[in-house]
Structure 1
Amino acid sequence: MLPSSQDLNENDAPAETARRVKTLVVAYDDPAARPGERDLAVEMPVNIVYGSVPYAVMMTTPADLVDFAYGFSLTEGIVASAGEIRDVTVEIADGGLRLLVNLAPGRLREHLARKRAISGRTGCGVCGIDDLSALPMAEARVDGAGSVGIAAIERALTTLGEAQVLNRRTRAVHAAAWANLDGSLFVVREDVGRHNGLDKLIGALMRERIDPATGFLVITSRCSFEMVEKAASLGASILVAISAPTSLAIDRARLHGMTLCAIARSDTLTVFHGRERLILAPSL
């Protein structure tokens, strides 16, 4: 069974993640509507607070929130490691949820001294920046992890669908997964927001002290530059996306020395950078 942050914090999911609603199904060639039911993914505002100072409000699926707090804190540049977060408390608030992130004293002082210029720096794309120089860029931490075989990537892609529990119910959420180098899935996180899903996954890996050299990332969403930057923040060297990348995503993958594969389907995948880490044929 894939590990869940529910095992780490019993108060991590104080709200439902999917909601069943009644529907009417109408076919174009049949005027008679028939009743039905559909599971919808729950989207909820979550206020992230450091110390007593609100930082951002993100729209997210209300599950694995402690993981989200860790991953968001790393990819926003608030912390550099899991040890700089003492604990995370999830609170129910009017109209949503609140994540109270207790930072180590030194890190909190540095955070409060730093002027926050934008809202949701990597969490919501590039909204809020006022200059191109403000585009987020992770430190180049990718250092050439071990190679991965095409068969391992195929295995991860094949099993990912079954591991997407919430998406099977709703068909409306993104997934981010960490696969071991043999292609077996270690952990999967889902969210209505593709950035949030990856932040949750990164948070889970941080909390488990997973070495980025021991596996690779798989995402079901399109691969924009923000997703590459988040992967680079973790130190991951291999990113596989089911959808297509953007041109800036490829530029950033080259900058960080990251292997980027995308348009990954059941029969083929396209390598955009970092061919040297891929084993394209079985060893003889």
Structure 2
Amino acid sequence: MDAARKCQAFRMTSRHPDPEAEVCEAIAEEAVTIALGEAGNFILLATPSDVEALAVGFAYSEGLLAGREDVADIRVERTGPWTIRVDLNLKRPPGEIDTRNLIVTSSCGLCGKHIETGLGGSRLARTLKATREQLVGLAAGLRDRQRLFARTGGAHAAALFDGSGVVLSFAEDIGRHNAMDKAIGRMVLEGRDPRGHGILLSGRVSYELATKAAHAGLEIVAAVSAPSALAVEACETRNVTLCCFVRDDRITIFTHPERIGFSAGTSRG
């Protein structure tokens, strides 16, 4: 399904003050239900493309599956609203899973989760290294991949990368959280492990994105825009390297700079 819809619009400028009719493309946004059996149903407002990857990435970043082998079956139903049913080989008993029927907007992840859940959890290992040059190069190439953004101006992007600066998976969506889940889900569906890699985001880093990355085992979170203070705290606690304002020739490292090739004690002015 096309991720954009044609809309009739009118343009006005200082040179041409009279309205001029034109056809624009607007990014698609629809309710998508992810049905995870005993783990619950989750209604996301998302761009209805790569919906299988969206569902699997969502389950992975919520800790409900560890890899492709945990997906017993996946079915897409389109008789009415989008429904993606994922049968999971659950690693935990249903009583240990936070079962909900929850609406998740395109601008927010699971905002109903307790903050303590994200600030807790295990600290990530330190297996990934990256350089400033690699991160700046990834950010420079991100816009070239953003075809949906080029059409609509309304898409966020996420790209998973390895220690060589190679993009492993890329996705776009109207929601930042959805773009991350799609990129993660693509890797999982291909039988590849997202853990130990990094992710580049096209916008700001919120607390939900930081904790989602930590749950997925992503050691470096890089973004072209700013982080929130709670995102910085979450990354510090979970041993995630957070690099923001990655653009032009600049990066700002907020947490765990050792993965970028230096220790915090060597570069304080």
Q: What TM bracket, shorter-length normalisation?
A: 0.7 to 0.9
Aligned residue for 1:171? 153
User: Does structure 2 conserve the Cα–Cα contact (< 8 Å) formed by 1:152 and 1:183?
Assistant: yes
Question: Cα distance, 1:132 vs. partner?
Answer: 5.2
1:116 aligned to 2:99? yes
Take 2:105 and 2:31, find their aligned partners in 1: how far apart are those partners? 17
Alignment of 1:186-265 (within 5 A): 186-208=168-190, 209-210=192-193, 212-213=195-196, 215-265=197-247
Does the C-alpha gap of structure 1 residues 81 and 54 become closer, same or farther in structure 2, counting only changes over 3 Å? same
1:31 counterpart (17, 23, 29): 17
Please, which of 124, 142, 147 is the counterpart of residue 160 of structure 1? 142
Between the aligned partners of 1:59 and 1:121, the Cα distance in structure 2 is 6
Instruction: Classify 1:120/1:137 alpha carbon distance in 2 versus 1 (closer, same or farther; 3 Å).
Output: farther
Calculate the aligned-residue CA RMSD, in Å: 2.6
1:69 to 28, 40, 55: 55
Letter in 2 for 1:223: V
1:88 to 1:268, Cα distance in 2 relative to 1, 3 A: same
TM-score normalised to the size of structure 2? 0.86
Report what 1:55 is aligned to. Answer: 41
Q: How many residues align?
A: 260
TM-score normalised to structure 1 length:
0.82
Shift of 1:112: 6.9
Residue type of the alignment partner of 1:87:
D
- Identify the residue that residue 64 of structure 2 maps to in structure 1: 78
> In 2, are the aligned partners of 1:180 and 1:216 still within 8 Å (CA)?
yes
SS of the residue aligned with 1:27?
Answer: coil
Deviation at residue 116 of structure 1 after TM alignment: 2.3
Cα offset for 1:77? 3.2
How big is the shift at 1:30?
Answer: 3.6
User: 2: distance between equivalents of 1:166 and 1:279?
Assistant: 34
Write the deviation string for residues 53-89 of structure 1: whole angstroms up to 9, x where unpaired: 8611111111111111111112223333332211211
**Segment of structure 1 superposing worse, 255-264 or 16-25:** 16-25
Identity of paired residues, percent? Answer: 28
Change beyond 3 A, Cα 1:126–1:199: closer
1:205 is displaced (CA, Å) by 2.1
Structure 2 portions without partners, runs of 5+: 263-269
Q: Once superposed, which parts of structure 1, at least 4 consecutive aligned residues long, lie more than 3 Å away?
A: 51-54, 111-115, 120-129, 135-139
SS at match of 1:160: helix
Matched, 1:43 2:29: yes
Amino acid at match of 1:88: I
